[in-house]
Amino acid sequence: MTGLYNGLTESICRRYLAKQKKILSTDLIFMVKKDVYEKCKMELAFLERLAFLGMENNLILLSPTLVRNAEKKIITEPSDRKNLFNFGILKSYDSNIGRIRTHNEVEKDYYFVHLSFQEYFAARYLAKALSGTACNKAIEFIQQHKYNQRYQLLFAFLAGLLSETCDSRLNIKFWNTIFNEPLDITHMQHMALVIRCADEINSNTTFIEAPRLFQLTARWMETAITHKSRYLLPFLTNILRACNTICNATHIQQALVRLLHDNQTTIVCRTLEFISSIPLNNPTNSLKRTVLQKIQHQDSDVKQEAFEALTSMYQKAATKELIEALLKALSDSDHLVRRSASEAFSRINVQAATPEMIDILLKALSDDDSNIRRHACQTIGQLGAKTATKEVINALVKALSHDNSAIIWPAYSAFSRMGTQAATKEVIGALLKALSDSDLSVRLSACYVIDRIGAQAATKEVIGALLKALSDSDLHVRQSACYVIGRIGEKAATKEVIDALVKALSDSDLKVRRSACEAIGRMSAKAATTQVINALVKALSDDDSDIRGRACYVIDRIGEKAATKEVIGALLKALSDHDFNTRKCAGEAFDRMAKNAATKEVIDALVKALSDDDSDIRWRACYAIGRIGENAATKEVINALLRALSDSDLRVRGGACEAFGRIGENAATREVIDALLKGLSHSDHRVRRSACYAIGRMSEKAATKEVIDALLKALSDSDLRVRGGACEAFGRIGENAATKEVIDALVKALSDHDFNIRRCACYAIGRMSEKAATKEVINALLRALSDSDLRVRGGACYTIGRMNERAATKEMIDALVKALSDHDFNIRRCACEAIGRINEKAATKEVIDALVKALSDGDSDIRRSACYAIGRMGEKAATKEVINALVRALSDSDFRVRGGAGEAFDRMAKNAATKKVSDGLLQALSDDDSDIRWRACEAIGRIGEKAATKEVIDALLKALSDSDLRVRGGACEALGRIGERAATKEVIDALLKALSGSDHLVSSSACMALNRVVEKVTTTEIMGVAAGFARAWNERKNLYKYEMRRWLCAICALDVFGDNDIETTEERNVSKSCIDSELISPGKLVKILIQAGDRVFLRPAVHGCIIGGAAVSVVENSLWIHERGRVTRVMIPKCKMHLAVELRQLFSEEVDHVYAKLAVASK
């Protein structure tokens, strides 16, 4: 890992020097790594210091203050700062999202492109610190954090970097710090740290202590395999899975050989299982021989594990010895041994097929055990063409006539893997016979094998049989036959086959028709006969849209030969198909023809079609050009479309306008715009409407005075669709069209008798944003809010929202309140959003009452928008009614509404309104509705510490006695989220009472609350209740699952681990799940042990730490528990020091004691 990041850093430095420092590549290639690092000295020093400061403060997002701190004594000139942020390692994050954004790079937060880069550069900082004046500080940092899982990769990088230095003293300082106090008394996390760091030591290192580290790891491994602990071996295995260097070290493999020679069968089995689980990429000859010998072991379990180990070790390439051993095992008298050997053969990578191997596999193909025959077929298939001897092929042919499908399928698979080598007369004969078999699966398998054999199976007989299969009664066979013919490709392109495929294009089954299309496409130009093209034209009218799409694909594959008048005409018609997919595929066919080959031919054909006698063809040609879009923007096309603007058929003229619109700005020449301006004055309304559309699509390029004047005139057109098109065009042009005349005309359009024009006018004004926020516009929008058409009202709401606070007049707010009661849900939603954009200016009593009502709307989108609007109003919306409504919204069926309500509470709490919000929630806690009381507890919990007033805590205490269990549980959770600020005697007593209650949900919530509330103090009462539950646990067996969870949470109790009678029951699984899900904290268990002084908690503390992967170290008169990136410190009174001694002793019993110290010294 360290070598990889060294290489990445050097590469980044070289790229930086080339791009930012403008160093020529010809100079860079002659720079060694040392020179490159020297050129980037300042930048690397900054990154190293910044990374370390972030790690030291446990930060990923690095604030401007931290960045400036990292710059001290490194950056001397402001101009140097610019390069720091262009190095390619840091990314900026604008924390001002939602407020005024900053463009000042120095005021932004930063983060490393990946956390591993931050850890790597922090390790570089520490490596330099160990050799400088900050050595003591670096050692102190390592001592404090060496068992913190957050820093494990950092220390691994540090070990790797130090191993590359020539100064052995730095390695000695580092490793002595690792092996000296404080040490992990559980041993496990210390073991993990040493192994991960040792794995990073370079194989070419001058660090003379490396072998001793590998020896220590080997001793740990032997202990893990031989010890009774059920946790140690899985833990070590999990670590070593990612440690390639250590696993392949000589000391490790020698220890494995010793273990394999143990007299205990159990240890041999565990060793073999361990070998199967670690990356042994380079096993020693001694280890390979020893594992091979275990194949002959008298115990069947050992044999099984040996085969698994061998399979793992030889997955890349099997050696001669292994193959010989497996071959020998295939002839064993015990069928279980033969089965394991055959299975191993089917899984390992055998590079060569020797005559002996083939003979044994042939023999296995005749074994009485069907599993052995199956594995033999699989092995032959894996070897592929290497086993394609006459004898093997004949044996596989014989297997094809077997009754057992488990053997037949691997036999067919073996033939398919042999490929062309299986194209013997016997095989093809068997496949021909199979194509006529009565069994459907046999016929399908035969098609599959013929496909894999390829062109060599394309004999006249096979093609004849496939032709026959095209008429099979089963649609799957017909479909497979089409597919295989397509795979054979041009070799199968005989007249008979093509005729049969043409016939298949009319098959009753759509899958067959699809496969026939694909097969014809694979034959490419050879299938470009008149009959095929006619069939494809017919397929373009098929009922199935997928077939029509495939027909388009085939036309593309055929190429220029398909660009006939009939095909283009059919594609043009397909462009107006009722099915979207058909229209899309037809357009893609034109696109492909334009891009792949016949670009000129297709364009020429379409240009020619624009002059066709049939006006329908001319119209469709316009549409097709529009589909092609910008790629059709040639001079010839634009000229042809210009002529089409004067066509006698109004559909053609309209189609030409639309084509210009789809081509877009590329067609915005003076001639085109003039022609479109002329189109705006055309006598036919459809042409005028299409001209509006085209001008709108040309956007800013069409925003000339002449165009705007013409569109203004169009706004008064007698045809409503033209007026609507003009509105849309103004909307697309946007702010560039926001003149007084245009705005006045759009205001007039807001009174048009047609609803669509009024709607389009609303949206056009909205696109012009605040530029259109005049008094006249606002008055017109007010009228639009009362429009008889719901779409106009929706457009008005949208536009008002775009104007933000500038639309916040009393009349407008009153109109939006009225809109909140509109019968259409979309209007109500838009009104909510508009009010939200107006912010606090809309916070009148009428608005708030209307939003409260909206929180009960039947549409979830409206309820969510109402939450958003309330949140934007902030303090002014914090009324009793609003808070009660938001509390109800916290239990909404829609998760987005619940989230919106939570965000509204958060905004209220953050912006101000803390007291008002709290007062409102206090009233809600006394509501007659238990659901309101429950949700009020939840809301207080969301606010957290900010809600920690005496009144709130007293109200929650009262809620702990509520008649509704949900309210009691919610009160527990709220007190827990408030945390230590709620840790009064009254609260603790009430939580203890809830802990002893009969309801498991309340008890669980009370336990979690106590875990959070009493972080600094654990009372005698808690210890007493917990100890009582612990003893009751051991007295009762067969608990219901909910009871187990309640009692576990109540005592943080893993005392079940002390009872061997129930160690394999569900209680153990539930206990582990509680640790894994952080319901129970290992640090809390140790704290309870020390502060309670009761040995009943000793074993729970030990097992909790082991399962939770916690490290426990003794630092002076305290215990430090490292878990999940955090540290819990527990003071040990002198009178309870014996508990720490017993804790250390019990850890040694559970994990066994391997001497953890290694004195590292120079030699």
Query: Which residues touch 429 (CB under 8 Å, ≥6 apart)?
Result: none
Question: Which amino acid is located at 91 in the chain?
Answer: K
Q: Looking up tokens 């809390």, which residue turns up?
A: 1084
| Half-sphere exposure in the Cβ direction for 483 (13 Å, CA) | 17
Of 338, 430, 412, nearest to 375 (Cα)? 338
Length, in residues, of the chain: 1163
| Half-sphere exposure in the Cβ direction for 7 (13 Å, CA) | 4
Helix, strand, or coil (residue 1127): strand
Residue 920 backbone dihedrals phi, psi, to 5 degrees: -65, -40
Q: What is the mean pLDDT of each run of 10 residues along the chain (1163 residues)?
A: 88 86 81 87 90 89 86 75 77 54 63 90 92 89 89 91 83 87 86 89 65 85 82 86 87 92 91 89 86 82 82 67 67 69 66 66 72 72 70 74 63 69 71 69 72 66 78 79 77 78 81 81 73 82 77 72 73 72 68 52 75 78 77 80 83 83 78 80 78 77 78 81 82 76 83 82 77 77 78 80 70 79 79 76 78 84 84 74 78 75 67 60 78 78 78 88 87 83 80 72 72 51 48 44 44 38 41 52 77 70 78 88 83 85 81 52 44
CA–CA separation, 574 and 142 (whole Å)? 72
Helix, strand, or coil (residue 317): coil
How many Cβ atoms are within 10 Å of 30's Cβ, its own excluded? Answer: 7
H or E segment at 328? helix 320-330
H or E segment at 1130? strand 1126-1131
Backbone angle region of 879, left / alpha / beta, with phi > 0 → left and psi within -120 to 50 → alpha: beta
Q: Looking up tokens 């026959």, which residue turns up?
A: 468
Long-range contacts of 161-168 (CB under 8 A, 24+ apart): 161/2, 161/123, 161/124, 161/127, 162/127, 162/130, 162/207, 163/200, 163/201, 163/202, 163/205, 163/207, 163/210, 164/2, 164/6, 164/202, 164/205, 165/127, 166/206, 167/131, 168/206, 168/207, 168/208, 168/1162
Cα 1032–Cα 1038–Cα 1040 angle in degrees, nearest 5: 90
Q: Looking up tokens 């250390």, which residue turns up?
A: 1144
Q: Which residues face 1115 on adjacent strands? A: 1118
DSSP string, 562-627: G--HHHHHHHHHHTT-SSHHHHHHHHHHHHHHHHHS-HHHHHHHHHHHTT-S-HHHHHHHHHHHHH
Structure token digits, residue 994: 């809830």
Of 1159, 1135, 938, 1120, nearest to 185 (Cα)? 1120
Structure token digits, residue 1044: 């187990």
Is residue 731 a contact partner of residue 764, using CB atoms and an 8 Å limit?
Answer: yes
Helix, strand, or coil (residue 83): helix
CA–CA separation, 623 and 568 (whole Å)? 12
Q: Which residues face 805 on adjacent strands? A: none
Is residue 832 a contact partner of residue 868, using CB atoms and an 8 Å limit?
Answer: yes
CA–CA separation, 502 and 364 (whole Å)? 47
Go through the domains of the chain in sequence order and give each one's CATH number: 1-129 (no CATH), 425-527 (1.25.10.10), 598-702 (1.25.10.10), 704-789 (1.25.10.10)
Of 92, 83, 88, nearest to 62 (Cα)? 92
CA–CA separation, 916 and 918 (whole Å)? 5
Q: Which residues face 939 on adjacent strands? A: none
Q: Which residues face 1121 on adjacent strands? A: 1112, 1128
Is residue 1079 a contact partner of residue 1049, using CB atoms and an 8 Å limit?
Answer: yes
CA–CA separation, 43 and 84 (whole Å)? 6
Distances (CA, A) of 307 to 312, 325, 353, 487: 9, 10, 20, 40
Residue 1060 burial by Cβ neighbours in a 10 Å radius (0-12, 13-18, 19+) = exposed
pLDDT of residue 1151: 66
CA–CA separation, 897 and 775 (whole Å)? 35
CA–CA separation, 477 and 483 (whole Å)? 10
Residue 689 burial by Cβ neighbours in a 10 Å radius (0-12, 13-18, 19+) = buried
Is residue 372 a contact partner of residue 338, using CB atoms and an 8 Å limit?
Answer: yes
pLDDT of residue 126: 93
pLDDT of residue 936: 78
CA–CA separation, 326 and 346 (whole Å)? 11
Answering whether pTM is above 0.75, one says no
CA–CA separation, 274 and 603 (whole Å)? 68
Is residue 343 a contact partner of residue 375, using CB atoms and an 8 Å limit?
Answer: yes
Is residue 175 a contact partner of residue 16, using CB atoms and an 8 Å limit?
Answer: no
Of 860, 920, 869, nearest to 894 (Cα)? 860
The edge-to-edge listing of strands for the beta sheet with 1126-1131 is 1111-1115, 1118-1123, 1126-1131
pLDDT of residue 699: 67
Query: Which residues touch 188 (CB under 8 Å, ≥6 apart)?
Result: 231, 232, 235, 1106, 1109, 1111, 1151
Helix, strand, or coil (residue 465): helix
Helix, strand, or coil (residue 886): helix
